[in-house]
Amino acid sequence: MTGRGGSAVAGESLASEPEDRQAARPGGMPRALRALSHRRYRLLLASNFFTGMAQWVQAVGQGWLVFDLTHSPLKLGLVSLFQGVGMLIFTPIGGALADRMDRQRLIMYTQVVMLGQALALAVLVSTGAVQVWHVMVISFISGSMFGFSSPTRQAVVPDLVGREDMTNAIAMNMTVMHSMRIFGPTLAGLLIATVDVQGTFFLQAGAYLVAMLVIMALGRIPAPRQAGDRPPFLRSMREGFRYARENRELFDVLIILYISSSLGMAYLNMMPAFAGDVLGLEGGSYGFLMVALGVGGVSGAAMNTVKAEWRRPGLVLIGVMCVTGGALMLMGGVGTVAATVPALMMLGVANATVVIVATGQLQTRAEDKYRGRVMALYSLSYSMMPMASLVMGAVAEQVGLREVFAGTGALVLVAIAWVAATSPRVRRL
């Protein structure tokens, strides 16, 4: 069981840095950039940069493609559901694998499959053969590969930087990923407006290729050594679930993450329909609208990079979830571009802060031997977003998108108020 500073096991493992890490201690590196003193972390960051670009270009391109084919919020939700099911099935497996095998090789395998699915969709769209079921299958594959790779990408950070620079590394990684919310949708919007939607999928494939080549240079990253005999695979997964459930502070942070993903971020998959039906925007304008979300995300991530540590992270999590609920109510209640742009910026700041603060708490409180499985539970939160989007899409076809956005915002406020009232551990974090 870990306390506020994490377990003794975790502390010993992270303090005992490999020789190549010890040779790259920060020295005169500015505090906000000190994680960059680690060469292998810089390579991981570069790979995450291109992977994030590919994912955001896919999100905009795929969402607009499905909306253009169907004009149905429900179909947008169904495509997202397939992605969520892939995440739900394979994320726990990916977490267990991250604690058992070479982490660099595991990331490499997923990058190859991601490259293949992006090329397949690009060819289908270019030849005019694409159908919604194609997008659903590819969305399932994409979600599955995210499930395999995301826990590993998260768990590998302490291996590359050590405990001293871990929070800074997490925040910097989120800054890079959220910067793609600017560049990814902007590039996708330009491509949709100039060469049509298939350009987004070719760009996605190119970004995955570069990310794969960078990971090849990272070198071998073995899983932490386990004391005694390694447990069978399924038992290893069950042990990860039990460890997180019994560590109440980890459990409470995960609950907030799940609320954020299921209620506070499900709007993302509905944004093509909101932009087209409510705001009356075209594909290129929709891409630029998403830049507002990216600006907020980068601002939130940069703020957390500079801040490094919050004195009361639990209260920060509660506060930014309240911001999330309020911003969704503003979007749905007003339903104009003038209200949507600042609301998206607020959502970007809030989403980035929740992810960075929660990830830092999970990384520092989890023992080394469980870290991959704990981060799989973190990554599992992303599977809840597509599933909630399906519900949003089904309800929106009956009552309207504006009402669904406003109602979801209200549910966020009710849920986080319940957590704050019933879990004093969160307030004491």
Residue 21 has pLDDT above 60, yes or no: no
What domains can you pick out in the chain, each with its CATH number?
A: 34-226+233-428 (1.20.1250.20)
pLDDT tens-place string over residues 331-355 = 999 988 899 999 999 998 898 888 8
pLDDT tens-place string over residues 350-378 = 988 888 888 778 877 777 777 777 777 77
**pTM value surpassing 0.75:** no
Q: Which two tokens stand for residue 339?
A: 């209200």
Q: Which two tokens stand for residue 180?
A: 């793609």
Instruction: State the pLDDT confidence band at 280, using cuts at 50, 70 and 90.
Output: confident
pLDDT at residue 179 in the model: 65
Which positions ≥6 away from 172 have C-beta within 8 Å? Answer: 32, 33, 35, 36, 45, 305
Q: Which two tokens stand for residue 284?
A: 């290129």
> Which residue intervals of 308-370 are DSSP H helices?
313-334, 337-365
Contact 420, 293 (CB under 8 A): no
pLDDT at residue 352 in the model: 81
Calculate the average pLDDT of the chain: 79
Phi, psi (5° rounding) for residue 156? -80, -15
| Span 101-114, average pLDDT | 88
d(CA 48, CA 110): 13
> Which one of 90-94, 132-136, 396-400 scores highest in mean pLDDT?
132-136
Residue 10 has pLDDT above 60, yes or no: no
Contact 73, 402 (CB under 8 A): no
Residue 185 has pLDDT above 80, yes or no: no
- List the one residue out of 227, 257, 220 whose CA is nearest residue 378: 257
pLDDT tens-place string over residues 281-326 = 876 677 677 778 878 877 887 777 666 567 788 888 999 999 999 9
pLDDT at residue 403 in the model: 93
